[in-house]
Amino acid sequence: MTTVGDIGEFALIERLSKQVDAARLASPGGAGFRLRLGIGDDAAAWQASAGIVVQTTDTMVDGVHFTEATTPWKDVGWKVLVANLSDIASMGAVPLCGIVTLGLPPGLDVASVDALYAGMLEACATYGALIVGGDVVNAQRAFVTVALTGACAGEPLTRAAARPGDTLAVTGPLGASAAGLRLLLQGKADTAPASLIEAHRRPRPRIEAGQSILLAGGRCAMDVSDGLAVDLGKLGKASGVGVRIEAEQVPRAPVLAALGEPDALELALSGGEDYQLVFAAPRQTIEHVLEEVRGAVIIGEVTADEPGMVRLIDAAGTPMPLTLAGWEHLR
């Protein structure tokens, strides 16, 4: 086994640069993007003739966001890129280019880093982005950080634009990723439904859906990464509003019903990492989006309650208990 400590930082960077070149990724076409400088200089440089530039970053840490028992390195690469792509999607933007920082223990197998990059490059090729540079550092625990840039043709969608009376909707079913993780942690990867394992390891960002929301006249959206209920609490605080969720309308992944999963609603509300988009707008705008985005459904309404308050009701309008559980670092 050849380790990253055996070959060193510079040889590893050269190796990864060659891997990026060999992938022959197409240059993004959004916003008049034209790459001027890529990997190999002190910074990347590009030109953009139109649109508002947006930028996001996400990190995945070994032992915090994944383990080798639950997520192969190639899927870690895919997933960290998708986490960034989903943030770009939630703004109604198109992805352009990313910069990657690797924190690597010297004893890590080089083949693992190759697989990590292969996953990132596959996601780039699938959704139209480039890797244009980055950094490599020594770390006691492996991590990967991606900073991704995108461009938006109009004013970006924001979580701070919901208004009382707006209709609340989500772009698709929830809970599959959390269910997949549960099965992986139980050691049932070989017997679990493949769709649940894929939902956790290979989520799909809703880039086209974000653009459809923007083009329909929507102004408020965010991605569901930490759990629907807790993310709606964030949206409510940012907008100075409350939200009401109709339990029966929250879309669950169909396979959960097929399995007879007793807490499918809880998984859908608090599971996280589904990377659907939740959005709010006047009813007419929402209905237009529903015509364009397959699988999108109405789940509730924005209210004039205390900012950040999230209420769950049953089909009769009776309040149901709701714990704002979800992923939160350092807790």
Encoded tokens for 11 = 């040889």
CB count, 10 Å around CB of 182?
A: 17
Q: According to the model, what pLDDT value does residue 19 have?
A: 95
Overall pTM surpassing 0.75 (yes/no): yes
Q: Which domains does the chain have, with CATH numbers?
A: 4-152 (3.30.1330.10), 167-319 (3.90.650.10)
CA distance 17 to 78: 18
Round to whole Å and give the CA distance between 164 and 168.
10
pLDDT value of residue 329: 52
Compute the distance between CA of residue 119 and CA of residue 116 in angstroms, rounded to an integer: 5
Res 179: pLDDT: 93
* CA gap 81, 156 in Å, rounded: 20
Would you state the pLDDT for residue 9?
86
Q: Sorting pLDDT into bands at 50, 70 and 90, what band is 324?
A: low
What pLDDT is stored for residue 47 in this prediction?
83
Rounded mean pLDDT, 286-296: 97
Supply the pLDDT for residue 51: 76
DSSP bridge partners of 131: 98
DSSP structural state of residue 186 = T
pLDDT for 75 = 98
Over residues 86-107, the mean pLDDT reads: 96
Distances (CA, A) of 126 to 85, 119, 122, 153, 207: 11, 11, 6, 21, 11
**Nearest Cα residue to 130 out of 72, 85, 73, 75:** 85
- pLDDT digit string (tens) for 148-195? 999 988 899 999 999 999 999 999 999 999 999 999 999 998 888 999
In this prediction, residue 142 carries a pLDDT of: 97
Burial of 42 (0-12, 13-18, 19+ CB in 10 A): exposed
Take residue 13 and report the two structure tokens written for it: 């960077």
Write out pLDDT tens, residues 253-285: 988 877 777 789 999 999 989 999 999 999 999
End-to-end CA distance of the chain: 37
Percent of the chain with pLDDT over 90: 79
